Amino acid sequence: MPSDAIAQPATAELTGREARWERHNSERQKRILTSAVELIEERAAGAEVSVQQIADRAGLAKSVVYRQFSGRDDLDRRVRAFVLGQFAAALDASMSISVGTLDEILTRTISAVAEWITEHPRIHEFMGTGPTDYDDESIDAISSLKATIADSARATITEVGRSVGIDSSPFDSLPFAVVTMVEGTLTHWVRSADPKPSRDEIVADLAKYTWYMFDGVARSSGLTIDPHVELSTLIAELVSSDAQSRPD
């Protein structure tokens, strides 16, 4: 979007991302942000979306849009944050470890990313053009999204490690390495003139590569994990084994 003119801290009850998401939840601002996203989705590659177009789509006067944001840069940043919040929330469901084997969890998570990138190419492009409203100028929204996903995955691994009595620190750098590989590979794939292999095939390949990386770190830490066993069952078995190994 062109640069024509026109985070608050989390409470104890909210995570940082949830607190930032609350900023976009006023009915009027949500209408504006949703309208901006729709117009970005519909535009041709490289085409600009004006504030007037956003106002028209939202059913508001242009002056009303101007009063909601400190400037065009603020609007663009807030749109990126709005998209990031929506996608990250949706991805959390795919990353849930409560249902599925590790192989299934990896596949459905990578599939969700592949679907988003292929179904929303203009939004993906826009996210790479600048920061969100809570990030430094040097950090574009795609980088912020990757960090958000990696942090979420790392927190999950840490919590699982704590619950089963395993040091999870060897896995600390793995989530970001995986996220970077997946996003970079899918971006290259979707921008190819004739993308091959198919989406299902590249998702399967990336899930396989991710498993190899995870398995390598696990084995170097003395762990053998079956990717085809329900993860919740595997965790329960590890918890039980840890409890039995502790002295009375």
CB 117 within 8 A of CB 187: yes
Q: What is the largest CA-CA distance in the chain?
A: 71
**CATH numbers and ranges of domains, the chain:** 16-245 (1.10.357.10)
Per-10-residue mean pLDDT of the chain, 248 residues long, equals: 44 54 70 96 90 96 91 94 92 91 96 95 94 94 95 94 91 97 96 91 97 96 92 86 61
CB 75 within 8 A of CB 144: no
Residue 161 Cα distances to 90, 98, 169, 171, 179, angstroms: 24, 15, 9, 10, 20
| pLDDT computed for residue 150 by the predictor | 95
| pLDDT computed for residue 193 by the predictor | 85
Classify 46 in phi/psi space as left (phi over 0), alpha (psi -120 to 50) or beta. left
Rounded to the nearest 10°, the torsion over CA 220, 225, 231, 236 is -90
Q: Which of 163, 210, 160 is nearest to 185 (CA)?
A: 210
| pLDDT computed for residue 18 by the predictor | 57
Interhelix angle for 102-119 vs 199-220, to 10°?
A: 140
- Residue where the block lists tokens 């290259």: 188
CB 126 within 8 A of CB 37: no
Residue 234 Cα distances to 25, 212, 241, angstroms: 39, 18, 11
Task: Identify the sign of the CA torsion 85, 91, 96, 99.
Answer: positive
